[in-house]
Chain A
Amino acid sequence: MIDFTFTEEQEMFRKAAQEFAETQVAPNVPEMEKTGKASQDLVKAMAEAEMMALTIPEEYGGLGLGYTARFIALEEISKVSVAAGMMLQVFALGIEPILKFGSDAQKKNFLPGLATGERLASTAVTETTGGSDPTGIRSTYKKDGEDYILNGRKCFITNSHIADTITVLAKDDENPKAFSTFILEKGMEGFKATHEENKVGMRGCNTGELAYENCRVPKENLIGVEGKGLGVALAAIGDVGRGGMVACALGLQAACLEVSVKFANERILYGKPISRLQTIQNKLADMKIDLEAGRLLGYKAASMQDKGERSSNEFAVAKYFTTEAAQRAAKMASDIHGGYGCMEEYAVSRYMRDSFVLGPSAGTSDIMKVIIARWTLS
C-alpha cells in the first residue's frame, strides 16, 4: 500500500516555509507588483532562510534536503507570491546543471556561494529562435586555445538581471549538432544583461535578455563533456524546471481556493452567504478537485526525483495539469469575487495575471502534450 502522508519533518518544512512566506514574502508583494522589479530585501531574506541551499548537498554548504522539501517550500511561497516562487525555482534550476553534471572542482568552486545566496543562479536556454526546441538556438561557442568564445543572445531568462552564475547553452560554431553548456559569471567581459521585460503577471520576478559578445569562457567553466550539453540543459529543465513550475502552480491554486472560500462565506446575497449557492459550491468543488489531483501528480513526481529516478515525463503530466488548473482556478476565483475580482485591491486580480505566466514558463501546455504523447507512444 502506498503511504501518502508527509513525514513529521516534511510537515515542519512546510511550517517553516509558511512562516517565511507570511512574514518575509508577503510584505514585499505590493512593491514588487508596483515596480515589477525583483526585491533585494526578499532575495536577502531567502538567502538568510537557507532557501537556496535546499537541494545542494551538505558537503558543499547546502542542506541536502532534496526535491520534495524544495517542492513544499515552493508551493508555500507561491501561495503568497508566485513571482517569489518563480524566482526561487529558477535559482535551483541554475544550480542543477552544476549539481548533476559539474566536476568536483566546479562543485567546490560554485556551490558554496550559491548555497548561502552570496551568488544567485539562473539558467539560459531560450532564444528567439528556440526554447522548447533548443536545437533552434543560434548562440555559438568556438574553441580558442584553452578557452571558448561565446556569441549570442538569450531571451525570457528568469533572474537575468540579478543572477551572478548562469548556465548557458550554445552550439558549436562549426558543428550545428554539437551543443555545450557553460557557466557564465556576471562581470565576464562581453557578457551582460540587456533588456528587462515588463510582464503582465509574476511582477517582481525579473525576466530579461542576456547578451554575450566574444565572451571568453575558460575551459574550467564547461559543464560535462563538450558537445553533450543538450542533455545537461534538458535534464535540468525537464525535472527541476518543470517540477518547480508545478509547485508554483499548486501554490496559486491553493491561494485561489483559500480566498474564494473566505469571500464566499462573507459575501451575502439573497440574505445568505454565496457559499450556500450551488453554483458557487460547484466552482469551489472544481477548484478543490483540481488541487487535490494536482498535488498527487506533483508530489509523486517529486518523490521519484528524490529516489534518483527520471521524472521529467511525470512532471510534464503534472505541469500540464496544474498550470491549466491554476488558470481555471484564477478564473473561477475571479468569477466568485464578481466585480471585486477586477479590482487590484483584491489578490484574485493578481492571481489571474500570474496564472497566465505559469503556462509558457518551462514549456507551454501544447509542448507538454507533445512530450506526454511521445512518452505514451514510446
Chain B
Amino acid sequence: MFPKIPQFPIRHRVYTMFKIVVCVKAVPDPKEACNIKIDPATKTLMRCDVPMVLNPLDKYALEAALQFKAEFDAHISVLSMGPPEAGNIVKECLALGADRGFLLSDRAFAGADAFATAYTLAKGIEKNGPYDVVFCGMASSDGSTEWVGPEIATFLKIPVVTRIKEIVEYNGQWWTVKAELENGYRLVRVQIPAVFTVTRELNTPRRLSFSGIIKARKKEITRWGIQELGVPEESVGLKGSPSMVSTIASMDSRRKVEILEGKREEKAEQLVQRLVNAGVI
C-alpha cells in the first residue's frame, strides 16, 4: 500500500536517543496586527513598533515534539533564525519543554526570503548533528508562504509532508501521518528523517508554566552567526534571496452597502434577485 520512496537514501541509525529539531520564528504579535506597518521603500515589515512573539503555528510544531518526547526517549532542539531579540522566543520554547535552543543570528542573515531562510536553517540543523525528525509550523503568521518547511527538506535532501493534522503511527523509521487537503486528507507513510509541517488540528499546545520557566534557567541557547555556520555570504540574507517583493498594497476592506426600499415583500424579492444575480443562490 505504501511503496518506499526510491529517491531518498535509506538511512540506518543506531538509536540511542531520538533527535527532534523544531524550527520556530519570531513574528509580530498577531494581536497587534492593526499596528503593523510596512516600510514602503524596502517593502518589509517594520518590526520595531510591534512586540515579537512565537509564531502561533510553531507552538503546534513544538507540541508535536513534546508529545513524542513524553512517550519516547527524545531530545528536542529548537532552532530559530532572527535578530538577537528572537532569543526570547527560543527561551520560551525551552520553558515549554525543549532541551536546547539555537539562535542563528547575524547581520548577514537580514532580509532573507523563504529560500535563504530555509538554507540557513538547514545549515544550522546539519551543524547541530544527527536528527530524525524536523517539525515546522505550516506557515508563519507574517510571511505565510508555507515554503520554509519544504525548502528545508530540499536542502537536507529528505522527504517532507506538509500540513499534517494527525500522526497516526510511529513505527521505527516509518511514520504514518494524515496530511490536510482542501476536501479531506492524505494518509502518508514516510521514512524518517523527514520534515513535517503541522496544522492547528494536530494538537493543543500547552501553556507556559512557572516551573517550566524555572527549568529553562539551566538550558542553553547557542548563538551561531555566518562564521559558525561556515556558509558563503551570497547564500544567505538578502543576497541569497532569489525572490523579491515587487509591490505591496493595502487591501480595501470596505463593504458596499445598499439600502433596499419598498414594502417588506418587495424588499424580500429584490434581495432574492440580487442574491441570484451574485450567484449566491
Q: Which residues of A contact B (CB under 8 A)?
A: 8-9, 11-13, 15-16, 19-20, 23, 49-50, 53-54, 63, 65, 69
Contacts and interface: CB of A to CB of B under 8 A. Distances in A.
B207 A8 contact: no
Contacts of A20: 207
Contact of B207 (A16, A65, A69): A16
A9 B94 CA distance: 12
Contacts of A54: 210
B207 A9 contact: no
Contacts of A9: 213, 217
B173 interface: no
B209 interface: yes
Contacts of B208: 12, 15-16, 19
The 9 A-B pairs at the shortest CB distance, nearest first, are namely A16-B208, A19-B207, A50-B210, A12-B213, A63-B210, A15-B208, A50-B211, A12-B95, A19-B208
Q: Main SS of chain A's interface residues?
A: helix
B128 interface: no
B214 interface: yes
A49 B211 CA distance: 9
B210 A53 contact: yes
Interface of B: 88, 91-92, 95, 207-211, 213-214, 216-217
Nearest to A64: B214
- With most chain A CB atoms within 10 A of its CB, the pick from B91, B209, B213 is B213
A59 to B, nearest CB: 14
Q: Which of B91, B214, B216 has the most CB of A within 10 A?
A: B214
A23 B207 contact: yes
A69 B210 CA distance: 10
Nearest to B208: A16
Contacts of B214: 63, 65
Nearest to A53: B210
Contacts of B95: 12
Given A9-B217, A12-B95, 11 more contacts: A8-B91, A12-B208, A12-B216, A13-B210, A13-B213, A16-B209, A49-B209, A53-B210, A54-B210, A63-B211, A65-B210
A12 B208 CA distance: 8
A8 B210 CA distance: 13
B213 A16 contact: yes
Nearest to A24: B207
Among B207, B208, B210, the most chain A Cβ lie within 10 Å of the Cβ of B210
Contacts of A50: 209-211
Q: Which of B208, B214, B216 has the most CB of A within 10 A?
A: B208
Contact of B88 (A11, A16, A49): A11
Kindly name the residue among B207, B214, B217 whose own CB sees the greatest number of chain A CB atoms within 10 A. B207
A9 B219 CA distance: 13
Contacts of B211: 50, 63
Contacts of A63: 210-211, 214
A9 B217 CA distance: 9
Given A63-B214, A65-B214, A12 B92 contact: yes
Contacts of B88: 8, 11
B91 A12 contact: yes
